[in-house]
Amino acid sequence: MTISSSLSDLLATAREFVDREVIPLEPFFLTGSHEELEPRVVEVRAIAKKMGMWAPALPKEVGGAGMSLVEFAHLSEELGRSPLGHFVCNAQAPDVGNMELLLQFGSDEQRERWLKPLVAGDIRSSFSMTEPGHAGSNPTWMSTTAVRDGKEYVINGDKWFTSAADGAAFTIVMAVTNPEGDRYRRASQIIVPMETPGFTRVRNTPVMGDTGSGWASHSEVSFNDCRVPVSNLIGGEGDGFVLAQERLGPGRIHHTMRWIGICERALELMCRYAIDRELAPGRPLATRQVVQHWIADSRAETNAARLMVLDAARKLEEGGSKAARTEISAIKFYVANVLQRVVDRAVQVHGGMGMTDYTPLAFWYRHERAGRIYDGADEVHRNVVARVELAKHGSVDLRG
């Protein structure tokens, strides 16, 4: 896939930026404190703004860098080489998805009050859909309700895995507003500012031994007679799933290209360690055939994954989410598994060092395991692809 010379220049600049400014922050993120990291992140965010890499997925009119989905996908790979790459460019999930949602479906008032400061990086946001009491794999089944009372919605329910709610200014909650409606028309998306009475951020859910903090955390949240104005509804009543689908298509491109960046960095680290680490004088690890095969398999799988994602991004950009349905589901489970294999090999090559937080490998090994679960578990996406393939050869009842 060819890229323009201006994009190629931007990617070279992004690589240099990540190497020079972002990777040196990693020790503070991986083994230091939030207090040590925060001022450094603020400095590097200012550099990213000056370099034109700020909010890359958003149009220039609202303060972004105005990149197309395919351009952002390429940039995402470069930024993904560090766990902090997307955050320092204000391109991190779930904010980027919320920004795109508000841009496309938000009212003028919502854009002014919430989108503007989000793009500026003055506030952060979160998205509350999954509930502890229901299978998130069937997102139409939920207990959280938003009942209209005059000019307000009264929201009740519990959610968990609301990523980045810690320190966010608001969350977008998915709640049932039309209980009698068709299963895909029952829910709506509503903005809830964190200071609203009746909203509680209960705790950060520990994930693989890490409760996290700030944007790198996942909260359990609760709504108890939480009242917000009807004007906080995004789109129309019952539009919740349509909006979620619109958000998830590009979101899966963003995640998978970020994962390819992780694979590239893991491969770099794996090769360097294999060259530097000697098993005996003059006999580096790289002389072992098994290590060479791990490196070769990682290169082949990463390249294949990249081509699949760029193809899906192009189809999505040209034809919309529906046209790229198979490709989006295929990359979601395929790349998540490539990522897991590549990071696992890199950990193995590093021996004991691979288990420490002196490289980002252990962080990715712990936290990116979730890539096979969030935004649709592997099995759900495999079902989508299989259904489309089977339908090409006749109709069959696939209800489980």
Ligand X SMILES: Cc1cc2nc3c(=O)[nH]c(=O)nc-3n(C[C@H](O)[C@H](O)[C@H](O)COP(=O)(O)OP(=O)(O)OC[C@H]3O[C@@H](n4cnc5c(N)ncnc54)[C@H](O)[C@@H]3O)c2cc1C
- Please report, as ranges, the residues that interact with ligand X according to CB under 6 A: 94, 127-130, 135-137, 161-163, 207, 218, 370, 373-374, 377, 379-380, 383
284 has which bridge partners?
278
CA distances to 35, 183, 323, 395 from 398, rounded to whole Å, are: 52, 19, 22, 9
Contact 226, 155 (CB under 8 A): yes
Nearer to ligand X, 127 or 294 (CB): 127
Q: Closest by alpha carbon to 130, among 84, 83, 99, 94?
A: 94
Cis bond upstream, residue 94 (ω within 30): yes
Question: Least distance from C-beta 326 to ligand X, angstroms?
Answer: 17
Burial 143-180 (b: 16+ CB within 10 A, else e): ebbbeeeeebbbbbbbbbbbbbbbbbbbbbbbbbbeee
Question: Least distance from C-beta 61 to ligand X, angstroms?
Answer: 27
CA atoms within 13 A on the CB side of 308: 23
125 has which bridge partners?
170
Q: Closest by alpha carbon to 139, among 97, 187, 205?
A: 187
Cα–chain-centroid distance for residue 323?
22
Nearer to ligand X, 379 or 389 (CB): 379
Question: Least distance from C-beta 10 to ligand X, angstroms?
Answer: 29
Nearer to ligand X, 129 or 191 (CB): 129
Backbone phi, psi, residue 352, to 5°: -60, -35
Nearer to ligand X, 200 or 348 (CB): 200
Question: Least distance from C-beta 335 to ligand X, angstroms?
Answer: 16
Residue nearest to ligand X (CB): 136
Question: Least distance from C-beta 159 to ligand X, angstroms?
Answer: 6
3-class secondary-structure state, position 101: helix
Nearer to ligand X, 299 or 366 (CB): 366
221 has which bridge partners?
159, 201
Nearer to ligand X, 211 or 292 (CB): 211
DSSP 27-93: HHHHTS-HHHHHHHHHHHHHHHHHTT-SSTTS-GGGTS----HHHHHHHHHHHTTSTTHHHHTT--T
Question: Least distance from C-beta 64 to ligand X, angstroms?
Answer: 21
Nearer to ligand X, 145 or 348 (CB): 145
Q: β-strand 170-176 against 125-128: which pairing, if any?
A: parallel
Backbone phi, psi, residue 173, to 5°: -100, 140
Nearer to ligand X, 123 or 377 (CB): 377
Nearer to ligand X, 44 or 129 (CB): 129
Nearer to ligand X, 12 or 135 (CB): 135
DSSP state of 142: -
